[in-house]
């Protein structure tokens, strides 16, 4: 059974940094992409960063220049480096597998990791 496990969240002050990790229980072929989603309180889950086949990355405007997505295929792990964090980044963060240019998640959701940005 495939499984995604997110970690690295926590409480951080505005302007601080966190690095999230997403470990996959199974092998993810390099043809698949990885994405990070977030769900703020009372809002829908949205894709905020993706790394596609060939290492092409995409970001929503709200995180562009502050967040960096990466992956280590040998470890079946994806990362999200978050810098210059803002209170509006507060959310539960999830990762998932992407196919092609689709933003539709391919695997079951993990439990997510809570990120809280507050002074």
Q: Is a pLDDT exceeding 90 seen at residue 25? A: no
pLDDT digits (tens, 9 = 90+) for 44-67: 999 999 999 889 999 999 999 999
How far apart, in whole angstroms, are the C-alpha atoms of residue 77 and residue 60? Answer: 21
Instruction: Take residue 104 and report the two structure tokens written for it.
Output: 């539709």
- Across the strands, what pairs with 89? none
Q: What is the mean pLDDT of the chain?
A: 94
Helix (H) or strand (E) holding 51: strand 46-51
Mean pLDDT of the 20-44 span: 90
């Amino acid at each position: 059974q495939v499984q995604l496990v997110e970690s690295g969240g926590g409480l951080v002050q505005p302007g601080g940094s966190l690095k999230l990790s997403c470990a996959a229980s199974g092998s993810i072929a390099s043809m698949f992409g990885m994405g990070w989603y977030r769900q703020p309180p009372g809002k829908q889950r949205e894709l905020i960063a993706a790394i596609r086949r060939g290492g092409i990355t995409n970001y929503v405007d709200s995180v562009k220049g502050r967040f960096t997505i990466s992956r280590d295929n040998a470890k079946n792990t994806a990362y999200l480096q978050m810098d210059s964090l803002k209170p509006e980044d507060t959310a539960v963060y999830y990762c998932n597998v992407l196919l092609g240019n689709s933003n539709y998640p391919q695997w079951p959701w993990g439990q997510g990791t809570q990120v809280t940005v507050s002074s």
